[in-house]
Amino acid sequence: MKKYQLYTLVFYTLIIIGLVMIYSASMIWAQYKTGNEYYYLLRQLIFVVIGTIVFIISLNIPINKLKKYANHIFISSIILLILVLIPFIGIVRGGARSWIGFGDFSVQPAELVKITIIIFTAKVLANNPQMMRNNKDFYLYLLIIVFVFGLILLQPDFGTGAVLVLSVLFMLFIGGVQYKNIIIGGILAAIGVVLMIITAPYRLERILSYLDPWSDPLGSGFQIIQSLYAISPSGLFGYGLFSSKQKYYYLPEPQNDFIFAIICEELGIIGGVIVILLFATLIYIGYKLSKSCKDLFSSYLSFGFTSLLLIQVFINVAVVIGLIPVTGVTLPFISYGGSSLVISMFMMGIIVNIMKNGEKDLDFEYKNEKKLKNFKLPFLTKFYKKDTNK
């Protein structure tokens, strides 16, 4: 089996697991809200069909065209991000003005911006290999990131903003950013976090509930407590598929951000580990691709998309098991949500595109490790030894 076929098989396996678990997690809540226990499952199936169409389209997008129009794509997504903040255009759900659309079918511009800023950053770094060594260029680019993060924070959607910023910082790091700028950026980020907590008391409540959920068990600590109740007694094999107890109105809307808790409750530690291993497979192949590409833009692009996947999975699982405060980040391919799924499938399509057409269009080689001398990501080359015995 070729690598792109394995990659496609793995993420479609995650989608299938997601469909099964969305039905299991949402059946009680859906019956209560809509009178149809299949409501969320059927909607997610529609999104899978749309996502598959998007995936097929992305397989046939010339990578050089994506690079050529990266600026236009990024600016268009920023315009949508601004439009969502305008009353009567942006739709408010759960206290956040994050959607544009009609009725129940809508899209989240912030989800789109997560991938457009990676495409834009990949182009900037590929065209300016020494950019991260120039303090002026680095801080100018940092202003762009802060501007985008600020727009997302106005919705407010801190979780998506954090994922976006961390993904870009990963790319800047392997792009050769100076360590002093990393330290300065970290200090500025810490100051920014403090200011955000001061200006929005609910964020402080989340931090306090993270430190001690039982200080407010019926309020800010309720969700994480119910998540831990789902995971802790499940054992190796769980209660069995469709046998969750926490989905009976204990864990709020379990088909969304906390679906991993239901996976662990029903399928046990074994089920949770299998899901994590499937994600780890995607991440491993994605990073291997990024170091094998001869084309610098494709290297940064595959690295950025893979880092985005890694960060989302890490944050979601860490929240569910109580390692970090609640952020509202979904589990890719598995959590219920159309915008997240379709955008993720586009991202996978681009990676498979690079993988599938690599030898023809991007001239990279998987089998001959001596080709690693062509790998140009400035930072990571230090960590890979060239095997000259093959």
Q: Tens of pLDDT along 91-108?
A: 777 666 777 766 566 778
Domain for residue 388, yes or no?
no
Residues with Cβ within 8 Å of 132's Cβ and at least 6 positions away in sequence, in order, are 125, 138, 172, 175, 176, 177, 178, 181, 378
Q: For residue 378, give its domain range.
A: 3-383
pLDDT, the chain, mean: 83
Distance CA 175, CA 126 (A): 9
pLDDT higher at 361 or 16: 16
pLDDT above 80 (res 121): yes
pLDDT above 90 coverage of the chain, percent: 39
Q: How many domains does the chain have?
A: 1
Q: What average pLDDT score do residues 60-89 get?
A: 88
pLDDT in tens, 184-207: 777 777 777 777 666 666 667 777
Side-chain-facing half-sphere of 242: CA atoms under 13 Å? 5
CA 153 to chain centre: 17
pTM of the full predicted structure? 0.86
Residues with Cβ within 8 Å of 232's Cβ and at least 6 positions away in sequence, in order, are none
The predicted pLDDT at position 369 comes to 44
pLDDT higher at 258 or 90: 258
Count of Cβ atoms closer than 10 Å to residue 84 Cβ? 25
Domain for residue 238, yes or no?
yes
> Hunting for tokens 């046998």 — which residue is that?
243
Domain for residue 328, yes or no?
yes
Domain for residue 390, yes or no?
no
Domain for residue 265, yes or no?
yes
Structure tokens at 92: 């408010």
In this structure, of 44-58, 194-208, 280-294, the range with the lowest mean pLDDT score is 194-208
Domain for residue 165, yes or no?
yes
